[in-house]
Amino acid sequence: MSKLIVNCETGETVERELNAEELAQQATEEAAVQAAEAARQAEVATKAAQRQAVLNRLGITEEEARILLGGN
């Protein structure tokens, strides 16, 4: 994997390969992003399950709940 370095003063660009430290940092950052996305998806799924559980207890559909709450 390479890195593009741009000198804004001269407009010169240099492309070089990432070193071991940069590759490790990139892997760490990618893992953190993936973990955050997994946590976000889990939260969304949990909220959807909780919402559906309430609807089931009330014996109504999501559309009926929207109507009752004045939504569209």
User: Residue ranges per domain, the chain?
Assistant: 2-68
8-32 exposure pattern, b = at least 16 Cβ within 10 A, e = fewer? eeeeeeeeeeeeeeeeeeeeeeeee
- The tens digit of pLDDT for each residue in 4-26 reads 999 999 999 999 999 999 999 99
Q: What is the mean pLDDT of residues 49-58?
A: 97
Rounded to whole angstroms, the Cα distance separating 13 from 63 reads: 56
pTM of structure: 0.64
Q: What is the pLDDT of residue 71?
A: 74
User: How big is the CA angle at 50 (ends 31 and 44), to the nearest 5 degrees?
Assistant: 25
Place of tokens 């390479």: 2
Query: What mean pLDDT value characterizes the chain?
Result: 95
Could you tell me what percent of the chain has a pLDDT over 90?
Answer: 93
